[in-house]
């Protein structure tokens, strides 16, 4: 991996009338957690909207988490697959934080898709069951394609769940959030995973057991992350 210092220097800062203008300017927050936020941002060079994931400024002194964030950027950027969200660039923010831009997906998570299907069935709404089943199976197969490709590159996701799968408005499918990804030939990263990011069975947790409890493989639940 590249050094953290080299990443903090990445990203153009164009001088404007009001001082430093970021290459990726936040327009509004999409999601947030204890480790950082995801914004809708505008890329100044190409005048397009992107998603910008930024690590929380308060974690800037936590070198282990910074290294994990840098690894997340590099792993995601190097997994060149139609069903893995593409990374556009990295930028150090004026506040000294670190973030990266990726494709903005206009759609919903697979978790939302499942909830919508359950709601329709709960209301006894007539749905074309066979067609819906085939659509969901096709979506599942594309997720399998992405995971198979990642495994062929020596990468394990470790937090695969419906909330980390995006379904676009035109049927696109993307596996998201490679923040807990493990390189099979890399060093054990357990030392850097000492922040608890969630407490429920459906939220991501870091610690002895890495991942989301409701979706963990048995070896993950036992803390066997080597």
Catalytic residue numbers read: 159
Distance CA(220)–CA(226), nearest Å, equals: 10
Non-local (6+) Cβ contacts of 87 within 8 A are 73, 76, 77, 100, 101, 102
Strands 173-175 and 165-168: antiparallel
| Burial (0-12, 13-18, 19+ Cβ within 10 Å), 141 | exposed
């Amino acid at each position: 991996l590249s050094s953290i210092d080299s990443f903090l220097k990445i990203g153009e800062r164009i001088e404007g009338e009001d001082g430093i203008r970021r290459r990726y300017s936040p327009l509004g927050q999409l999601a947030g957690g204890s480790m950082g936020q995801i914004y809708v941002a505008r890329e100044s060079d190409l005048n397009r909207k992107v998603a910008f994931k930024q690590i929380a400024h308060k974690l800037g002194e936590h070198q282990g988490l910074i290294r994990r964030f840098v690894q997340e950027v590099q792993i995601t950027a190097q997994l060149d697959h139609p069903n893995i969200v593409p990374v556009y660039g990295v930028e150090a923010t004026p506040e000294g934080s670190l973030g990266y831009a990726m494709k903005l997906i206009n759609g919903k998570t697979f978790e939302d898709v499942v909830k919508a299907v359950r709601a329709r069935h709960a209301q006894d709404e007539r749905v074309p069951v066979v067609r819906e089943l085939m659509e969901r199976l096709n979506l599942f197969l594309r997720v399998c394609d992405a995971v198979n490709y990642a495994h062929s590159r020596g990468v394990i996701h470790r937090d695969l769940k419906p909330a980390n799968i995006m379904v676009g408005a035109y049927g696109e499918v993307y596996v998201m959030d490679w923040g807990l990804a493990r390189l099979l030939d890399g060093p054990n990263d357990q030392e850097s995973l000492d922040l608890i990011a969630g407490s429920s069975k459906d939220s991501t947790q870091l610690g002895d057991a890495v991942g989301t409890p409701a979706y963990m493989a048995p070896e993950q639940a036992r803390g066997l992350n080597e």
